[in-house]
């Protein structure tokens, strides 16, 4: 909790949690009495719009991904995988709760990187461009359509003539 506060640069006004008892003392110990602690279960706070559903869904997604970690023998490789996964989840992966756009784009409308090349290519390195083909995911039958993308590298000779 302290790391989250440091990264945000401020103390939260409200902390919404499930009814896990360890949160009761932990929130006051971490943030003091100025942070209001609201307890409930997912979808409990319909009138205020406050819910733990979003973070619980994120935890479930992360839990599913952590099964992959059992195959790794060192913590450095796991940390690298988690860091990459978080970048993908926040900056590139469409999220139904965000209107089928990545959470970072939904939160700020400004995305610091357009694709993985912006992250992995060394400064001054050649950036590659891709043709993006969108198609509707057939497995999603209800709600808003979910789009997936296929990326096709645009050869350098095509980029220069464009």
Model pTM above 0.85: no
Domain ranges of the chain: 2-126, 128-162
Relative to beta strand 130-136, strand 147-153 is antiparallel
- The upper half-sphere exposure of residue 102, i.e. CA atoms within 13 Å in the direction of its Cβ, equals 19
pLDDT-derived band at 31, boundaries 50, 70, 90: confident
**Average pLDDT of every residue of the chain:** 77
pLDDT-derived band at 142, boundaries 50, 70, 90: confident
Contact 80, 73 (CB under 8 A): no
Which tops the pLDDT comparison, 22 or 102?
Answer: 102
């Amino acid at each position: 909790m302290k790391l989250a506060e440091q990264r945000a640069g401020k103390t939260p006004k409200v902390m919404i949690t499930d009814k896990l008892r360890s949160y009761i003392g932990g929130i006051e110990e971490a943030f003091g009495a100025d942070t209001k602690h609201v307890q409930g279960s997912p979808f409990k706070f319909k009138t205020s719009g406050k819910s733990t559903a979003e973070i619980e869904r994120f935890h479930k997604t992360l839990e599913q991904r952590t099964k992959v970690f059992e195959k790794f023998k060192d913590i450095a490789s796991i940390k690298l995988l988690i860091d990459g996964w978080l970048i993908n989840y926040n900056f590139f992966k469409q999220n139904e709760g965000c209107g089928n756009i990545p959470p970072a784009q939904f939160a700020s409308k400004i995305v610091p990187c357009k694709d993985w090349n912006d992250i992995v290519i060394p400064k001054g390195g050649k950036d590659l461009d891709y043709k993006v083909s969108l198609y509707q995911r057939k497995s999603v039958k209800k709600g808003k359509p979910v789009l997936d993308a296929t990326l096709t590298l645009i050869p350098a000779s095509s980029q220069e003539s464009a």
